[in-house]
Structure 1
């Protein structure tokens, strides 16, 4: 698993915890294996996860706290958001930072990311704004 994939997985686990859902619900979602998902930057993946989590949390409550229903809603919404973002990008109407969640200035970057960015991943903001497949190191 790549550093960027681990980052998005940790972000999803954090979102799930905030909504009182088991973090493992985000493991192995088919939508996160799609070509559209892999074409997104880490910042856009974070946006897609956040927006999809809102729908999953709503489904969780409406279903009487059924985690299975929440997982299905989460997977469906991630896939839908990925396709929507891909279509906007293909149409040329998506700016570099549109629908892109960058960490706040107050966010304390994990030590491993600090080391990676200083040694073998000298990407700066591109770490968040470009798909990892585009990184030229």
Structure 2
């Protein structure tokens, strides 16, 4: 087995595949890897389906694949997400494509630190928003459009690690759930309470953080060891930035401001 792995490692990806990887960059190549894995791993590609669909559209726009219905002949189908596609020809046999993509990704990682950090931020946003939506559903508050709420909260918790964002969501939902009962199941009032509590608790955390009164992993909710990562997150932690638990306890770098 070790000999086979060494032989595969020594093979270089086809030039057509490398050119395709260069077109879509590190994030696109990582997404391409994750989508390939989705045909044999029954896990979500990312924590949020809208992000998965955006990445799939990016790959289609770049000529990497073509989205199609699941009953299309030769279609590739994800085992978890409701997506299917046809691969374009990039000079690589189907059986060698995944390994070639992993090698192409390693080349992108060496050359593009800023995109590695952008992918980190993208994954943290997706997981924190997915966790918030999970809590809203658990507390029967998912009947309103959550997107305006998410857009507002995204600004509030941008300075925090994923683990602390999860904590803020949990702490805010406790107050929002009480508000829901108190206000005769008025979800609008509950959403407003949730946003207010995340702001207040966030300011409290920020003050504690600035005064060095709390450790990096205090007030930090981390999934248990049995939690199965979405595929793109697994690729990120194994091949892009192998940071382990720091993914949950360390804030991602600030996003660059434009204009």
What pairs with 1:1-137 in structure 2 (closer than 5 Å)? 2-22=122-142, 25-29=145-149, 30-34=152-156, 37-133=157-253
The runs of 4+ residues in structure 1 deviating greater than 3 Å are 23-26
CA RMSD of aligned residues (A): 1.7
Displacement of 1:41 in angstroms is: 0.6
User: Bigger relative contact order, structure 1 or 2, given CA contacts below 8 A and separation 6+?
Assistant: 1
Displacement of 1:107 in angstroms is: 1.7
Which is worse superposed, 106-115 or 40-49?
106-115
Long gaps (5+) in structure 1 = none
Alpha-carbon distance in 2 for matches of 1:63, 1:89:
34
Long gaps (5+) in structure 2 = 1-50, 52-121, 255-259
Alpha-carbon distance in 2 for matches of 1:33, 1:15:
19
Displacement of 1:90 in angstroms is: 1.0
Alpha-carbon distance in 2 for matches of 1:23, 1:12:
14
Q: How many residues align?
A: 132
Displacement of 1:23 in angstroms is: 6.7
Go from structure 1 to structure 2 and tell me whether the alpha carbon gap of 1:49 and 1:23 turns closer, same or farther (over 3 Å shift). farther
